[in-house]
Structure 1
């Protein structure tokens, strides 16, 4: 009975070694298929004074915060919910790009910044 068990353990070890060898050879073939062709696409950067960006001056208070004001309203939409409808406006803020515009409720914007709706 012990002899049978020893033989089965040897068979299991052989199968495990074979499986590991297959995994290693597969990994080696996959690794050799990968090639990097980045060198052809990269070019040396030549310095150009027109690429230099000038920083914006932002006035910061004692708490290291600043007042953000809306520049213009870009879009309007109405969100329908179970309880009713909410009018929204897309606001472009100062010192931000169009991609950073946010949707705000029209009522709160009319209350805080009525000059935008004139």
Structure 2
């Protein structure tokens, strides 16, 4: 790591490969999977002071390997009245909102909700 301006930064093959991998990941749009309603879903949720967001994922077999990929992404801004919510209330708001939005994917299916909030877990 660089701590000050006098530290010498060495460019190595591993660092170049890591940079190229990061650049590829940041500049490539994610491939959306077609949902398989026989397989369980994963609903990732998160909320902040600015907005709510969720990503519906699923593990599918692609090229004989299990691969987790996105089915859909949803997000919205926080409303003025919601801006007064505490952190736990905001996460629960996000959970309820995320369950209502893509309900056509989740209704009658097995799914897991994944969040960083211990209250929601």
TM-score of the pair, normalised by structure 1: 0.18
Determine which structure has more spread, i.e. the larger CA radius of gyration: 1
RCO (CA 8 Å, sep 6+): is it higher in 1 or 2?
2
Structure whose residues are more often helix by fraction: 1
Structure whose residues are more often strand by fraction: 2
